[in-house]
Each structure stands twice: as structure tokens, then as C-alpha cells.
């Protein structure tokens, strides 16, 4: 039996575009003799739509689309994800009409029957992710909810589908995304399907990619193999491609639709390059696997390209402040890769603190990228602002407030450039700067998109090297890329905001990068836990230990001073982070709607103070 994996680039909210892509894939799959084609979760509408899925008119259009797709099913089975609604059933917990995240199954213009004969052609998602940027319980009712409402066992809706094609009949277990990740739930659809004797399981997903997501999925599959041993069945996983967003996080979907054999090993695989793809495989055979790509770089390029295509129609110029620093240099190269050199305009806005070296780096980078580039000085605007402030009885002397004047002037100019050019601004901030508030609100926090807002400086060092390789030229100056060896770091030109004389960024690179990821990527990680680890000397067994020693943080006084600075900077930067542009999410914990924060007063927690005192006493200091 040939099975087509319809790895769809879902255009969120664009029903007509998604239906057109699906229809073409169905026709292509038929032409190649496929018996079955499978599309991702919420393929008709997109998954990340916020409260648009509460609009009855929009939902009605989605429901109408199901009949349209069913009409294509002559000679081919079609499985797809879409919203469903049950007339006369209880409302969702929000009090509005019921909505389910469902999988549909049609063949020969009919709904495919289940073993128990109930609800043909329809399966409701049972396990709901309500973590990170997912919010399923707010939008949908689960299969478990439906069973309980009808006084049925919670596994009532988990029944094999009977698919008869030509002279072959198979029992298929159909599930939706999180149903595969059921380890921490009260119900395990995968296990139930195996117990009920399916021939294979199909999981339709809209699973955003983040670093190492592939390994997590393989690990989960292997857990099922270990649990079920010889009873294990193949799993066919079909994922979305493309980009969707929730307003604060721009999420990319890598595709990577895969057929896993009974042993949990990959049997066949679609490309994981974030692109739409129709893969047609015989589920009994093994196929050569595609070469894995540079996922982080591809994810960022694809996010920019899709964001631009979907929201800006691929026309507006992108405006970027080119300072001659690493972040803006990397961003400019990513923009060119994603959109082409003619869509990118760079501006260097120097003050008297900018070095000739960094101005030269910016100009050279722009020249090698082939983008439009302009240089100028902001000194006149700075002095004019100082004079105006004087008229308001404010003496604008050098210091943090004066530095912020320069940053906000640059933000003002970039906004003006974008307005006159009919373009949008690319934000240059990285994750560590965002975490520690090392950015000026309405200055370098502005933009339509933040491609690097979930990338640490360490990520940027890697990206810079890869970009130079791709362009086969020193697009990003080697002076900006440090040499890291033997747990030491050496810069040709150390990172600086260049807002005062001889200014250097205060971050302890590598260590602070690690600490930001430590606090954001796992909900269980927090300050008190880290202080306990340090106080008990458990840090010495960690991979980051050599860098703690490199920065002399193995000395308790230094550690305490640094962590107090770090956590206060983090706390008082919340108001900046919640006003940051949408961030391209590539890690397990991205600022925005992933790592959620409230603005709270800073409190000298008594437990924290006791731990800090214990650490200092351990070092013989008080």
C-alpha cells in the first residue's frame, strides 16, 4: 500500500490557500498510485489562530470545507486535521459553542467506519498541551471530555478505523499530535490502539520545531517500543511545514514527516527543511534518509521568508540598523538569504562614540552582501535633544540616561526610514540582551520581527561562521567572532553598545548564555535551585563548570555579586520584554508567550538571602 505524506505549508487563517494546496497534493498522490494521503493537524485553518477559532462564522467555513475535501476522496483515502462541532452537545468550558481539534478520514466520498461503528470518519484529540505557547483547553474540548459528558469510559472514542482499499484491509489507529506524547496524561491513545490490534498508527501533527526536537520525538517513539515490545506497530507521523505565529512568538514547522518501523527506527522520512513536500512511500519498505540540514540557520531564514510572504506579501523593504556589531551583521546576512539583497536597506547611525573600526565593518558587510547602505551621524540630533531638555530644566549629562538618548534617536530614525521607504524594521536584539534588559525601550527594542530574540550570543557565533561559509566570503568580520578554546574566549573586537567611551558589554559570555537558557528552557529551573546547586558544590559536575572558574565565579564573593546583578537586571527588564517585537522561537523556552512573565515587585526573598549568606560563609566572607 502506497501512502502519501502531505507535509503541508499551512497558511494560518487562509482557508482557500490551504484547500488549494491540499487538492493539488491529492491529485498528485492519486496520479502516483497512493492509496492514502495524510495531512497535518488543523491543516485547513492553521493551529495558532488565537481567538479567531471562537468566531462562529470562521468555524462554519471550516466545517463546510470538510465536505469539500471528502468529495476529493474517490479512489484515495484522505486523512486531515480540522475543527469539528457537535450539534446539541454541551458548550466548551468558555461557555461558547463546542469545538474539537479533530482528525477526519474519508474514502470513496464516504466517512470511513470504525470498529464500533460510531462517529465514522472522525477522531477527537484526547491529550491537550497546555504548556509553553499551547493553549488547547482554552479553545477545544477533548475526546476525554466528550466521553465523560456521555457517561462513557474515557477511551470510548479511541477505536481503530477499518480502511479497505482494493484487495487490502488495514486497521488504522488515528491520533492527533499530543496523543503520541501521552506519558504524563491519564490516557494513552497510542497504547490503547496497540492493545486493540491496529496494523499501524497515524499521528497528524502541527508541532513547532525547536532545537533538538527531533531527538525528543525519537526518544518518545522508543519509549513506546520499550513499553510494547513485540506488540509495537509502525507509526506514521505527518507534520506541518512553514510558519505560524501567536502574536508574540513566530514558530517554524520543519516538516520531518516520518514513518517509524515497529522497532522505532526511521523507515522513511520527508525533508526537515521547513518546506512543503509530498512524500509517497510503501509503509513496508525502507528508504534512504535525507541528509540533515543546518536546522538553526534554516529555521531563521525560513521564519523571515514566511513572515514576509504571509504578512507583508513579499514586497516591503526591510530596514536594518547596521552598527558593525555581530548581531546586526548576522541579521543582515539572514535577511539577504531569506529575501534577496534588493529587499534589504542598511543604515549606520554613528555617534562620537562609534569607532572607525565598527563603521568600516558595517560598510564592508553591506558591500559584500550587495545591499543598499547609508551612513550618517546622529550627533546633531543628540545635541539638539540635549538643548531641548535644557529648556525643560533637565541637564543631560553623560550617564545611562544620555546613552539611552542615543539609542532612542536611532530608533526614531529607523522608524522614519521605514515610513519613507514603505518598509519594516528588523530588530537586532539577542536573547541574552533581552533577558538582562541590555536594550533601550523604543530605541533598539523596536521592529516588526526579532529573528535573533531567542538566540544566545553563542548561537550567534555559530551562525556567523556558517554564514561566512555559505557566502564564501567574510560577510561577518572575523574580529566579531571570538576564538573559543581550552575554555577561554578571545575577541578581536569585544562586544560593545558604543554609547560611551571604551564601553564593553557587561555579560560574561558563555556562562551568562548558559544561565539564561537554564532559567528559561525548563520550568523547574529557578534561582533558588541554582543557589542550592552552587552552595552544595554540585555545579562542579556541570558542563559549564570550567567557565564558572574562568570568570573566577568559583570564588563565592564573585559568584554572589554576579548573580545579584544578573537577577536584578533580569527582573527589572520584564517591562521591556513584554513590549518586544515577535520573537522567532528556536529554543525550549523563548520569551513571549512561551516563557510567560508578569510584572511583579522585586522582593528580597528570605530564602534567597539565606542561601546567599550560606554561600558567602562557605567562602569565609560575610
Using an 8 Å Cβ cutoff, are 199 and 236 in contact? no
Bridge partners, 123 (sequence order): 103
The residue that leads in pLDDT, 276 or 398, is 276
Q: What is the mean pLDDT of residues 331-357?
A: 97
| Cβ-Cβ contacts under 8 Å for 117 (sequence gap 6 or more) | none
| Full residue range of the structural domain in which residue 25 is found | 2-293
| pLDDT at site 12 | 96
- Asked which of 293, 314, 341 is the last residue of a domain, the reply is 293
Q: From edge to edge, which strands make up the β-sheet containing 241-245?
A: 241-245, 249-254, 583-585
CATH code where residue 580 lies: 3.40.50.620
Name the grid cell of 159. 477505536
**For position 621, what pLDDT does the model report?**
59
240 and 362 fall within a common domain? no
Q: Based on the domain organization, do 497 and 394 belong to the same domain?
A: yes
Burial class, 491, CB count within 10 angstroms (exposed 0-12 / middle 13-18 / buried 19+): middle
Alpha-carbon dihedral sign for residues 284, 286, 287, 290: positive
Same domain, 276 and 324: no
597 shares its domain with 541: yes
In a shared domain, residues 187 and 308: no
| 314 shares a domain with 224 | no
State how far the Cα of 507 lies from the Cα of 534, in Å rounded to an integer: 20
Give me the pLDDT at residue 291, please. 72
Q: Phi, psi (5° rounding) for residue 134?
A: -85, 150
- 379 plus 237 within the same structural domain: no
Q: What is the DSSP letter of 223?
A: H
Does 202 score more than 60 pLDDT?
Answer: yes
Q: How many domains is the chain built from? A: 2
Q: Choose one of 293, 312, 333: the last residue of a domain.
A: 293
Residue 313 and residue 249 share a domain = no
Same domain (yes/no): 367, 495: yes
pLDDT single digits (tens) 253-302: 999 999 999 999 999 999 999 999 999 999 788 888 777 779 999 999 99
What DSSP string runs through 531-589? HHHHHTTGGGGSTTHHHHHHTTTTSHHHHHHHHHHHHHHHHTTHHHHTTSPPEEE-SSS
Final residue belonging to a domain, choices 230, 263, 293: 293
Q: Report the mean per-residue pLDDT for the chain.
A: 95
Average pLDDT for residues 561-576, to the nearest whole number? 97
Residues 250 and 362 in one domain: no
pLDDT confidence bin for 161, thresholds 50/70/90: very high
The pLDDT, as a whole number, for residue 513 is: 98
Same structural domain, 267 and 315: no
The full 3-state SS of 28-43, as one line of letters, equals HHHHCCCCEEECCCCC
pLDDT, tens digit (0-9, with 9 covering 90-100), for 384-394: 999 999 999 99
Torsion of CA 17, 21, 22, 23, to 10 degrees: 100
pLDDT at 622 over 60: no
State the pLDDT at residue 619.
Answer: 75
Same domain, 417 and 450: yes
The pLDDT confidence band at residue 224, using thresholds 50, 70 and 90, is very high
Lowest mean pLDDT among 59-63, 90-94, 128-132, 141-145: 90-94
Confidence band for 93, pLDDT divided at 50, 70 and 90: confident
- What CATH number should be reported for the domain holding residue 243? 3.60.110.10
- The pTM of this model reads 0.95
Q: Is the pLDDT of residue 334 over 60?
A: yes
> What proportion of the chain, given as a percentage, has pLDDT over 90?
90
Average pLDDT over residues 391-416: 94
Output the CA angle 545-549-551, nearest 5 degrees. Answer: 120
Amino acid at each position: 500500500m502506497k501512502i502519501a505524506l502531505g507535509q503541508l505549508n499551512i497558511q494560518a487563517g487562509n482557508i482557500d490557500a490551504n484547500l488549494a494546496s491540499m487538492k493539488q497534493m491529492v491529485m498528485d498522490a492519486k496520479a502516483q498510485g497512493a492509496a492514502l494521503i495524510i495531512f497535518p493537524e488543523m491543516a485547513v485553518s492553521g493551529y495558532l489562530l488565537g481567538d479567531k477559532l471562537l468566531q462562529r462564522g470562521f468555524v462554519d467555513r471550516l466545517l463546510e470545507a470538510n465536505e469539500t475535501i471528502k468529495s476529493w476522496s474517490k479512489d484515495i483515502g484522505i486523512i486531515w486535521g480540522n475543527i469539528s462541532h457537535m450539534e446539541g452537545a454541551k458548550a466548551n468550558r468558555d461557555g461558547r459553542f463546542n469545538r474539537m481539534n479533530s482528525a477526519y478520514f474519508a474514502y470513496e466520498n464516504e466517512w470511513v467506519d470504525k470498529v464500533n461503528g460510531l462517529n465514522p470518519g472522525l477522531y477527537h484529540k484526547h491529550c491537550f498541551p497546555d504548556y509553553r505557547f499551547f493553549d488547547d483547553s482554552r479553545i477545544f474540548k477533548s475526546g476525554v471530555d466528550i466521553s465523560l459528558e456521555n457517561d462513557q469510559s474515557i477511551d470510548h472514542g479511541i477505536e481503530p478505523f477499518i480502511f479497505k482499499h482494493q484487495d487490502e484491509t488495514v486497521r488504522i489507529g488515528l491520533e492527533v499530535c499530543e496523543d503520541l506524547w501521552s506519558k504524563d496524561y491519564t490516557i494513552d491513545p497510542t497504547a490503547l490502539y496497540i492493545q486493540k490490534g491496529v496494523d499501524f498508527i497515524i499521528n497528524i501533527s502541527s508541532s513547532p520545531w525547536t532545537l533538538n526536537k527531533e531527538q525528543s520525538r525519537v526518544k518518545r517513539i522508543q519509549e513506546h517500543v520499550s513499553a510494547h515490545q513485540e506488540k509495537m506497530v509502525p507509526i506514521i507521523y505527518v507534520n506541518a511545514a512553514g510558519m505560524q505565529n501567536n502574536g508574540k512568538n513566530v514558530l517554524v514547522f520543519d516538516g520531518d514527516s516520518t514513518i517509524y518501523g515497529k522497532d522505532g527506527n526511521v523507515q522513511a522520512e520527508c525533508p526537515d527543511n521547513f518546506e512543503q513536500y509530498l512524500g509517497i512511500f510503501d509503509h513496508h519498505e525502507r528508504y534512504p534518509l535525507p541528509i540533515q540540514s543546518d536546522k538553526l540557520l534554516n529555521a531563521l531564514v525560513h521564519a523571515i521568508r514566511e513572515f514576509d510572504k504571509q504578512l507583508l506579501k513579499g514586497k516591503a523593504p526591510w530596514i536594518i540598523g547596521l552598527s558593525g556589531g555581530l548581531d546586526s551583521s548576522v541579521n543582515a546576512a539572514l535577511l539577504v538569504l531569506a529575501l534577496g539583497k534588493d529587499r534589504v536597506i542598511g543604515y549606520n547611525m554613528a555617534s562620537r562614540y562609534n569607532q572607525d573600526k565598527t563603521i568600516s565593518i558595517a560598510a564592508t558587510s553591506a558591500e559584500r552582501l550587495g545591499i543598499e547602505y547609508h551612513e550618517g551621524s546622529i550627533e546633531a540630533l543628540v545635541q539638539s535633544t540635549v538643548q531641548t531638555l535644557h529648556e525643560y530644566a533637565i541637564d543631560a549629562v553623560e550617564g545611562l540616561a544620555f546613552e539611552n538618548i542615543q539609542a532612542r534617536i536611532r530608533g526614531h530614525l529607523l522608524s522614519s526610514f521605514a515610513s519613507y521607504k514603505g518598509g519594516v524594521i528588523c530588530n537586532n536584539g539577542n536573547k541574552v540582551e533581552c533577558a538582562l534588559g541590555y536594550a533601550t525601550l523604543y530605541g533598539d527594542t523596536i521592529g516588526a520581527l526579532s529573528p535573533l530574540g531567542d538566540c544566545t550570543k553563542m548561537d550567534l557565533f555559530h551562525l556567523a561562521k556558517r554564514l561566512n561559509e555559505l557566502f564564501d566570503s567574510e560577510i561577518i568580520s572575523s574580529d566579531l567572532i571570538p576564538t573559543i578554546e581550552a575554555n577561554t574566549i578571545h575577541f578581536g573586537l569585544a562586544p560593545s553598545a558604543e554609547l560611551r567611551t571604551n564601553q564593553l558589554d557587561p555579560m560574561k559570555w558563555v556562562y551568562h548564555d548558559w544561565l539564561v537558557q537554564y532559567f528559561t528552557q525548563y520550568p523547574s529551573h529557578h534561582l533558588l535551585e541554582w543557589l542550592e546547586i552552587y552552595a552544595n558544590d554540585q555545579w562542579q559536575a556541570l558542563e559549564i563548570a570550567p567557565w564558572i572558574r574562568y570568570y573566577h565565579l568559583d570564588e563565592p564573593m564573585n559568584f554572589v555579586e554576579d548573580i545579584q546583578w544578573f537577577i536584578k537586571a533580569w527582573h527589572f527588564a520584564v517591562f521591556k520584554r513584554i513590549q518586544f517585537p515577535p520573537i522567532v522561537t528556536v529554543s525550549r523556552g523563548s520569551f513571549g508567550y512561551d516563557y510567560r512573565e508578569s510584572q511583579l515587585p522585586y522582593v528580597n526573598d528570605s530564602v534567597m538571602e539565606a542561601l546567599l549568606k550560606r554561600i558567602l560563609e562557605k567562602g569565609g566572607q560575610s
